[in-house]
Structure 1
Amino acid sequence: MNPSTALARVLVDELLRGGVTDAVVAPGSRSAPVALALAAAERAGRLTLHVRIDERTAAFLALGLARASGRPVPVLTTSGTATAHLHAAVLEADAAGVPLLALTADRPPELRDTGANQTIAQPGLYGGAVRAAVDVGVPEAGREEAQNRYWRSLVAKALLVARGALSGDPGPVHLNLPLREPLLPDDDADGRPDGPWSGRPGGAPWTEGAAAAPDRAAGTGPARTLVVVGDGPPGLGRAAGELARAQGWPVVAEPSSGAWGGSARGGALLLGVPDWVAAHRPERVLVVGRPTLSRPVAALLADPAVRVETVAASPRWPDAGRSTTRVGALPAPGAPADPSWRAAWCTAADRVGAVVDGLLDAAPGLTAGRIARDLVAGLPAGALLVLGSSTPVRDVDRLAAPRPDLTVLANRGVAGIDGTVSTAVGAARVHGGPAFALLGDLTLLHDLQGLLVGEGEPRPDLTVVVPDNDGGGIFAQLEPGEPRHEAGYRRVFGTPHGRDLVAVAEALGWPAQRLSGPGQLPGALAAGGPRVVVAGTDQRAEAALAVRLRSAAAEALRGD
Structure 2
Amino acid sequence: MNPSTMQAQVIVDELVRCGVTDAVLCPGSRNAPLSFALHTADAAGRLRLHVRIDERTAGFLALGLALRSGRPVPVSTTSGTAVANLHPAVLEASHAGVPLVVLSADRPPELIGTGANQTVVQPGIFGAAVRLAVNGAVGGGPGDNGRWRSAVDRVVAAATGALGGPPGPVHLNLPFAEPLVPHGSAEPPPAGRAGAEPWTAVAPVTRQVPSLPLDPSAPTVVVAGHGAPDDLLELSVPVIAEPGSAAWPTALRTGPWLLGTPSAAALAPRQVVVAGRPTLHRPVQRLLADPDVAVFGLADPRGGPWTDVAGAVRSIGALPPLTPDAEWVGRWCAADAAAGAALDRLLDDPAGPVGLRLARALPAALPDGALLLLGSSNPVRDVSLAAVPRRGLTVLANRGVAGIDGTVSTAVGAALAHNGPAYALLGDLTLLHDTTGLVIGPDEPRPDLTIVVLNDGGGGIFGLLEQGAPEHAAAFERVFGTPHRVDIAALCAATGVAHITTDVAGLAAAVEPAPGLRLVEVRADRTALRAGHAALRAAVDAAVAEAVAAP
TM surpasses 0.5: yes
Shift of 1:527: 5.7
1:323 aligns with 2:312: yes
Match of 2:88 in 1: 88
Distance change in 2, residues 1:178/1:384 (3 Å): same
Tell me the distance in 2 between the aligned counterparts of 1:352 and 1:531.
Answer: 35
Q: Which runs of 4+ in 1 moved over 4 A?
A: none
- Residue range with higher mean Cα deviation, 480-489 or 307-316: 307-316
The answer on whether the counterparts of 1:366 and 1:536 sit within 8 Å (CA) in structure 2 is: no
SS at match of 1:558: helix
Shift of 1:166: 3.4
Match of 1:14 in 2: 14
The answer on whether the counterparts of 2:241 and 2:251 sit within 8 Å (CA) in structure 1 is: yes
Tell me the distance in 2 between the aligned counterparts of 1:441 and 1:285.
Answer: 36
Tell me the distance in 1 between the aligned counterparts of 2:159 and 2:492.
Answer: 35
Tell me the distance in 1 between the aligned counterparts of 2:440 and 2:353.
Answer: 31
1:185 aligns with 2:178: no
TM-score by length of 1: 0.94
**Match among 158, 162, 170 for residue 159 of structure 2:** 162
Tell me the distance in 1 between the aligned counterparts of 2:489 and 2:353.
Answer: 17
The answer on whether the counterparts of 1:249 and 1:341 sit within 8 Å (CA) in structure 2 is: no
Residues 79-138 of structure 1: CA deviation (Å, up to 9, x unaligned): 011001100000000111100001110011110001100001111101111111111122
Residue identity (%): 54
Match of 1:348 in 2: 335
Alignment of 1:29-428 (within 5 A): 29-141=29-141, 144-145=142-143, 147-189=144-186, 191=188, 193-194=189-190, 198-218=191-211, 221-222=214-215, 223=217, 224-232=219-227, 236-239=228-231, 241-242=232-233, 245-246=234-235, 248-276=236-264, 278-313=265-300, 314=303, 316-328=305-317, 330-331=318-319, 333-334=320-321, 336-364=323-351, 367-428=354-415
SS at match of 1:499: coil
Match of 2:508 in 1: 522
- Residue range with higher mean Cα deviation, 70-79 or 550-559: 550-559
Tell me the distance in 2 between the aligned counterparts of 1:344 and 1:102.
Answer: 50
Residues 325-376 of structure 1: CA deviation (Å, up to 9, x unaligned): 1123x23x43633333433222221111111111111142771110110001
SS at match of 2:229: helix
Instruction: Letter of the 1:101 partner, please give it.
Output: V
Instruction: Letter of the 1:271 partner, please give it.
Output: L
Shift of 1:181: 0.7
Shift of 1:149: 1.8
Tell me the distance in 1 between the aligned counterparts of 2:200 and 2:283.
Answer: 46
Tell me the distance in 2 between the aligned counterparts of 1:477 and 1:437.
Answer: 23
The answer on whether the counterparts of 1:468 and 1:537 sit within 8 Å (CA) in structure 2 is: yes
Tell me the distance in 2 between the aligned counterparts of 1:293 and 1:204.
Answer: 42
The answer on whether the counterparts of 1:237 and 1:289 sit within 8 Å (CA) in structure 2 is: yes
The answer on whether the counterparts of 2:23 and 2:49 sit within 8 Å (CA) in structure 1 is: yes
Residues 198-217 of structure 1: CA deviation (Å, up to 9, x unaligned): 21202111222333222232
SS at match of 1:153: helix
Tell me the distance in 2 between the aligned counterparts of 1:23 and 1:315.
Answer: 26
Tell me the distance in 1 between the aligned counterparts of 2:79 and 2:328.
Answer: 58
Tell me the distance in 2 between the aligned counterparts of 1:2 and 1:319.
Answer: 53
- Residue range with higher mean Cα deviation, 390-399 or 532-541: 532-541
- Residue range with higher mean Cα deviation, 313-322 or 259-268: 313-322
SS at match of 2:364: helix
The answer on whether the counterparts of 1:366 and 1:535 sit within 8 Å (CA) in structure 2 is: no
Distance change in 2, residues 1:552/1:335 (3 Å): closer
Tell me the distance in 2 between the aligned counterparts of 1:545 and 1:342.
Answer: 30
Match of 2:421 in 1: 434
**Match among 457, 472, 482 for residue 485 of structure 1:** 472
Number of residue equivalences: 542
The answer on whether the counterparts of 2:374 and 2:380 sit within 8 Å (CA) in structure 1 is: yes
Shift of 1:315: 6.0
Shift of 1:455: 2.3
Tell me the distance in 1 between the aligned counterparts of 2:504 and 2:283.
Answer: 30
Tell me the distance in 2 between the aligned counterparts of 1:300 and 1:124.
Answer: 39
Tell me the distance in 2 between the aligned counterparts of 1:474 and 1:29.
Answer: 42
Residues 216-236 of structure 1: CA deviation (Å, up to 9, x unaligned): 32367222221111111xxx5
The answer on whether the counterparts of 2:17 and 2:198 sit within 8 Å (CA) in structure 1 is: yes
Tell me the distance in 2 between the aligned counterparts of 1:209 and 1:336.
Answer: 41
SS at match of 2:133: strand
Distance change in 2, residues 1:540/1:66 (3 Å): same
Tell me the distance in 2 between the aligned counterparts of 1:366 and 1:554.
Answer: 18
Tell me the distance in 2 between the aligned counterparts of 1:373 and 1:130.
Answer: 37
Alignment of 1:493-504 (within 5 A): 493-504=480-491
The answer on whether the counterparts of 1:219 and 1:334 sit within 8 Å (CA) in structure 2 is: no
The answer on whether the counterparts of 1:168 and 1:211 sit within 8 Å (CA) in structure 2 is: no
Tell me the distance in 1 between the aligned counterparts of 2:86 and 2:212.
Answer: 44
Which stretches in structure 2 are left out of the alignment for 5+ residues? Answer: none
SS at match of 2:307: coil
Alignment of 1:524-543 (within 5 A): 524-526=510-512, 528=514, 529-543=516-530
Tell me the distance in 2 between the aligned counterparts of 1:478 and 1:491.
Answer: 15
- Residue range with higher mean Cα deviation, 182-191 or 107-116: 182-191
SS at match of 1:392: helix
Instruction: Letter of the 2:8 partner, please give it.
Output: A
